[in-house]
Structure 1
Amino acid sequence: MRIGKATSSSTTKLVFLCVALLGTFLLVDLLWASSSSFNWPLPPSSNLLFFPNNTLPISNKKGGDARILSATFADLPAPLLNWEKMAPSPVPRLDGAALQINDLLFVFAGYGTIDHVHSHVDIYNFTANSWGGTFDMPKEMAHSHLGMVTDGRYIYVVTGQYGPQCRGPTARNFVLDTKTKQWQDLPPLPLPRYAPATQLWRGRLHVMGGSKENRHTPGLEHWSIAVKDGKALETEWRAEIPIPRGGPHRACVVFDDRLYVFGGQEGDFMAKPGSPIFKCSRRNEVVYDDVYMLDDDMTWKVLTPMPKPDSHIEFAWAIVNRSLVIVGGTTEKHPNTKKMTLVGEILQFQFDTQTWKVLGKLPYRVKTTLVGFWNGWLYFTSGQRDKGPDDPSPRKVIGEMWRTKLKLL
């Protein structure tokens, strides 16, 4: 009996050993296959953090071709960057706005919480690396989902949401003289909008897309008005060529006399019917990777799409060395949990070649960042960050300021 037990024990150990060796072999083979499937150009570095670029098909209920999404629904392969934490913003902000003029970053409005919105401006000085110079916004000015652009002195503020939760938009527009800190009115938009794409181009203030008055339906309208030195030269907005795809939360820039629009989404939270506080109620959203351009032909041209769909990026960008740099955002919702998925990478669009590159990894995934670039340093502040490395869904609103040295060819 003892001999039989010993033999049985030896056999069991041998079986476990074979299984362990087979498992090890399969794991090594899988890791090798994953590492060979990267398809994003990465600069040489000894400090790279790689994410498996595994993909899986998501079935199309209508019977069409299956879509292919990242297995993490958030992370692209991206090199590590050295981030330095700076002095935080005086208040946390979500869906705020920011514009840079020289070494100053003017930071506006935004949610502190879903029930509280800010109605003031904070200023960050990149040379001194400190905050200061807070002042109030007009009482009638929107508190989030603003359209905004600057000519280097004057900041034009367009439409947006007035109040907390999911309250309605305003058509009121304003202009700020950043030297005197004085505000003036601009002619109101024909219709109010949430988070429209906004830019100065060829002597005119352009406003396009955004969400309509119900906060959910995409707007296609495109209006412009002639402006100069902080004043409107016309009393009425002019209708322009509609944007091919409407919706809010996209980046809009001008480079080499061309107007570009990047990313965005269709749909957004809406006010719950009958709610006295306009409580936000979730609705379906579709995030997209579209890139459009207007030039001398005044027709929208479709350019190379973004590496992945990206939204909530209206003030999350900077132009550096003939490139557009986009920091964070939101991408497609997880197909199973239906939770919003935050973006944790910095994307680069090279204007000359119209190609994309993944520049690096953020300290965490985050949306509605407010971005500046000064003396070789890329800065971002505020927004809403993720729940942790393994959970890309939104957690808390932050006011942190970070910077990294950015070298682009």
Structure 2
Amino acid sequence: MPTRRAYLALAAVGGRIFAIAGQTPEGITAVVEMYDPEDDLWTRGSDKPTPVAYVSAAAIGTDVYVPGGCDAEGVPTQVVEVYDTLTDSWREAHPLPEPRCAYALTAWKGELYLFGGWDGERYVTTVYVYDPRTDTWTERGPMDTGRGFAAAAPLGSRLYVVGGYDGERELTTCTVYDPATETWEECAPLTVGRGGLGLVTIGGQLYAIGGGGRTSYLGFNERYNSADDTWSIVETPLVGEWRSPGVVVLETTIYAIGGWSSDYLSLNQAYEALPFRIFIPVSQQQ
């Protein structure tokens, strides 16, 4: 990735990966860079109007939604900005009900689900759902405990919210949210605490990538099998710490881009989950 950074938003649309905003050695950035795996080429897009970090993205159709984030002073924002991948342009959606950064975000059945995060004073339990058809946010059943820097992904008909940080330690927490009933259940905990991880679904399993390094040591990534409610070990290209990379799935490949490991990273790693299961560097731009 041309701009080395962490705490960025990452999304995959139309065969390309979009790296948006985040924190660099020079501070908070608004930069948008697009990666085409077929050509192994990075190009520049239109900057995000509001520079933020501690932010996530989710795609609905050809639009990439980027809610909230923290500004250069570390203050959470309410702004929701939407990137149109077809026109390389930005627009605003309805603001978040409250300022938020360091949340977990995923898209499910054409809606955004935003879990927890930092409100400027504490890590919260709040769950918000955004419907782009009506441009509205609604509050849903909260999490049991407040946490930020968790990650969320769908598996089957439910949404998993994994890991995170509660202000004291990185968490092994795994919880499952049922959108139909607005209820929560626990799932088997991660093997190690992970805050600032990525979570993606591929081949009917969840992959927890990165996180760790603040209060726990990162020695491996993890894969979750819902059939027997177990986590198993997956290799990692970095050990010790790898906080807040961007992680997405494109076809049968997991891409992990950027993050923090003693410094801001530009790395672009691809994990061939099906069928080879091996991490390989896919872009040599540093």
TM range, smaller chain: 0.7 to 0.9
1:321 aligned to which of 179, 192, 203: 203
Corresponding letter in the other structure for 1:311: G
2:138 aligned to which of 225, 230, 238: 238
Task: Provide the secondary structure at the position in 1 that maps to 2:130.
Answer: strand
> How far apart, in 2, do the equivalents of 1:245 and 1:264 lie?
11
Determine if the alignment matches structure 1 residue 345 to structure 2 residue 245: no
Instruction: Judge conservation of contact 2:155–2:206 (CA < 8 Å) in 1.
Output: no
> How far apart, in 2, do the equivalents of 1:110 and 1:169 lie?
13
Aligned to 2:193: 309
> How far apart, in 2, do the equivalents of 1:352 and 1:152 lie?
30
Task: Provide the secondary structure at the position in 2 that maps to 1:249.
Answer: coil
Deviation at 1:102, TM superposition (A): 4.0
Structure 1 pair 106–213 and aligned structure 2 pair: CA distance change class (3 A): same
Aligned to 1:291: 174
Which is higher, the Rg of structure 1 or of structure 2?
A: 1
Instruction: Judge conservation of contact 1:263–1:288 (CA < 8 Å) in 2.
Output: yes
Deviation at 1:106, TM superposition (A): 0.4
Ranges in structure 1 where 5+ consecutive residues have no aligned partner: 1-88, 268-284, 334-340, 386-394
Is the deviation greater in 341-350 or in 185-194? 341-350
Determine if the alignment matches structure 1 residue 362 to structure 2 residue 237: yes
CA offsets 1:281-322 (integer angstroms, 9 cap, x no match): xxxx22111111122332111111111111101xx2332211
Determine if the alignment matches structure 1 residue 146 to structure 2 residue 55: yes
Determine if the alignment matches structure 1 residue 111 to structure 2 residue 23: yes
Ranges in structure 2 where 5+ consecutive residues have no aligned partner: 278-286
> How far apart, in 2, do the equivalents of 1:242 and 1:379 lie?
30
Task: Provide the secondary structure at the position in 1 that maps to 2:45.
Answer: strand
> How far apart, in 2, do the equivalents of 1:203 and 1:119 lie?
26
Deviation at 1:331, TM superposition (A): 5.3
> How far apart, in 1, do the equivalents of 2:60 and 2:70 lie?
23
2:64 aligned to which of 152, 155, 162: 155
Structure 1 pair 331–289 and aligned structure 2 pair: CA distance change class (3 A): farther
More helix by share: 1
Structure 1 pair 370–238 and aligned structure 2 pair: CA distance change class (3 A): closer
Task: Provide the secondary structure at the position in 1 that maps to 2:46.
Answer: strand
Deviation at 1:377, TM superposition (A): 4.2
Structure 1 pair 343–175 and aligned structure 2 pair: CA distance change class (3 A): same
Aligned to 1:31: none
Aligned to 2:42: 131
Corresponding letter in the other structure for 2:2: P
Task: Provide the secondary structure at the position in 1 that maps to 2:263.
Answer: strand
Instruction: Judge conservation of contact 2:9–2:66 (CA < 8 Å) in 1.
Output: no
Aligned to 1:38: none
Aligned to 2:12: 100
> How far apart, in 2, do the equivalents of 1:377 and 1:199 lie?
18
2:103 aligned to which of 196, 219, 222: 196
Structure 1 pair 407–234 and aligned structure 2 pair: CA distance change class (3 A): closer
> How far apart, in 2, do the equivalents of 1:206 and 1:369 lie?
20
CA offsets 1:86-142 (integer angstroms, 9 cap, x no match): xxx1111011111112421100111112x522111101111111211332111xx24
> How far apart, in 1, do the equivalents of 2:20 and 2:110 lie?
24
Deviation at 1:376, TM superposition (A): 4.7
Corresponding letter in the other structure for 2:259: G
> How far apart, in 2, do the equivalents of 1:249 and 1:312 lie?
5
CA offsets 1:354-404 (integer angstroms, 9 cap, x no match): 32110213244422122244465443221112xxxxxxxxx1111122334
Instruction: Judge conservation of contact 1:109–1:144 (CA < 8 Å) in 2.
Output: yes
Aligned to 1:40: none
> How far apart, in 1, do the equivalents of 2:128 and 2:182 lie?
13
Instruction: Judge conservation of contact 1:309–1:331 (CA < 8 Å) in 2.
Output: no
> How far apart, in 2, do the equivalents of 1:373 and 1:173 lie?
23
CA offsets 1:218-264 (integer angstroms, 9 cap, x no match): 11122223224xxxx045x3221111122211111122221110010
> How far apart, in 1, do the equivalents of 2:69 and 2:117 lie?
9
Is the deviation greater in 171-180 or in 341-350? 341-350
> How far apart, in 2, do the equivalents of 1:400 and 1:234 lie?
36
1:212 aligned to which of 100, 119, 128: 119
Q: TM-score, normalised by structure 1?
A: 0.62
Instruction: Judge conservation of contact 1:158–1:173 (CA < 8 Å) in 2.
Output: yes
Aligned to 1:224: 129
Determine if the alignment matches structure 1 residue 398 to structure 2 residue 265: yes
Corresponding letter in the other structure for 2:44: G
